[in-house]
């Protein structure tokens, strides 16, 4: 087995890897006997490296980080990258409707363009290009630090922005609200990894702190709205039913909230962190290369206290159903 020949996992983390493997198999039993061990380990090693580049982290910190990985999503992505037919059947049945829904969202409901956009990434996910005798899959850039649905939504948003830029080339779309779809102003993992740069890690950390503060300061109802969409992956119609709003109102308020968040974050970076315009741009660029934020924790948890109250209670039936 390749993992026996070359083990990329840092010392002291084997128990954490074993826990993730067990968790993934409990949710994806079809992988028993054909678990993509080597690819799974490589993805975890890259996730740890990207998270702690330029930092001195203890084994305990790294172990806690591993426990936050979405193991079942990562295992499924690795199995799909391996070309396992059963994994692809699970992915297509489980994620295609969400892909189409996300594509409709970024194309403002243009059904034809949405389907074309969603279908266009299947080839990249499967991997049509070979390098060094190995098929390269877009799944190789997913490390489990976000939910797979969030990561896919970010890719679709970036592909849409790329298409618009290629077709118009009139002005920068850095302010485009789709850039923040699901997580960041650009895709957080699909781009090819770059050599570690401690300075860029510092800018990403600055942006992380500012964004966490801005989100924490939101009205609970607005934080709940974001959690419904980005953490629980509800459709606009489902959010509308829970919040007693029309679907169009939900869409309009989400767009306005995304723009407002971007403005607040940029203002805080300039006024509180004393960054120049160029440094602000570097913050977003650095975060776009390796998205380090745990939106689920920030959006669904008050400082030191689990989310409760009427809004949280509304989520529970959706999660169980």
The residue among 111 and 131 whose pLDDT is bigger is 111
Is the predicted pLDDT of residue 170 greater than 50, yes or no? Answer: no
225 located within any domain: yes
Do the Cβ atoms of 270 and 168 come closer than 8 Å? Answer: no
* Mean pLDDT calculated for residue range 182-193: 43
190 located within any domain: no
182 located within any domain: no
Per-residue pLDDT tens over the stretch 285-315: 877 665 656 677 777 654 433 343 344 344 4
183 located within any domain: no
189 located within any domain: no
Is the predicted pLDDT of residue 52 greater than 70, yes or no? Answer: yes
* Range from 81-95, 110-124, 183-197 that averages highest in pLDDT: 81-95
Instruction: Say which DSSP state 92 is in.
Output: H
Residues 88 and 215 in one domain: no
Residues 172 and 220 in one domain: no
187 located within any domain: no
Domain containing 171 equals 2-42+53-176
Residues 99 and 202 in one domain: no
What is residue 183's predicted lDDT score, i.e. its pLDDT? 39
Residues 12 and 113 in one domain: yes
């Amino acid at each position: 087995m390749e993992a026996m020949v070359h083990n990329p996992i840092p010392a002291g983390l084997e128990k954490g890897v074993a826990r993730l493997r067990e968790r993934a198999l409990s949710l994806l039993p079809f992988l028993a006997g054909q678990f993509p061990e080597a690819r799974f380990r490589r993805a975890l090693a890259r996730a740890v490296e990207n998270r702690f580049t330029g930092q001195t982290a203890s084994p305990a910190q790294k172990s806690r980080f591993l426990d936050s990985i979405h193991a079942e999503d990562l295992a499924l992505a690795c199995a799909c990258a391996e070309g396992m037919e059963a994994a692809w059947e699970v992915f297509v049945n489980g994620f295609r409707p969400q892909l189409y829904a996300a594509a409709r969202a970024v194309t403002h409901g243009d059904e034809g363009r949405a389907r074309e956009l969603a279908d266009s990434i299947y080839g990249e996910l499967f991997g049509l290009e070979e390098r060094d005798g190995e098929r390269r899959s877009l799944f190789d850039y997913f490390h489990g630090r976000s939910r797979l649905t969030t990561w896919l939504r970010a890719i679709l948003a970036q592909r849409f922005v790329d298409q618009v830029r290629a077709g118009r080339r009139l002005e920068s779309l850095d302010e485009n609200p789709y850039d923040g779809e699901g997580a960041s102003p650009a895709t957080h993992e699909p781009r090819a990894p770059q050599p570690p740069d401690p300075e860029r890690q510092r800018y990403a950390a600055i942006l992380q702190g500012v964004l966490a503060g801005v989100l924490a300061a939101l009205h609970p109802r607005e934080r709940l709205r974001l959690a419904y969409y980005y953490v629980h992956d509800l459709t606009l119609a489902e959010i509308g039913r829970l919040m007693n709003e029309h679907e169009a109102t939900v869409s309009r308020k989400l767009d306005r909230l995304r723009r407002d968040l971007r403005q607040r974050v940029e203002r805080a970076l300039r006024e509180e962190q004393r960054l120049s315009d160029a440094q602000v741009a570097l913050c977003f660029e650095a975060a776009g290369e390796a998205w380090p934020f745990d939106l689920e924790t920030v959006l669904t948890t008050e400082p030191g206290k689990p989310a409760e109250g009427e809004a949280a209670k509304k989520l529970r039936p959706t999660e169980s159903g």
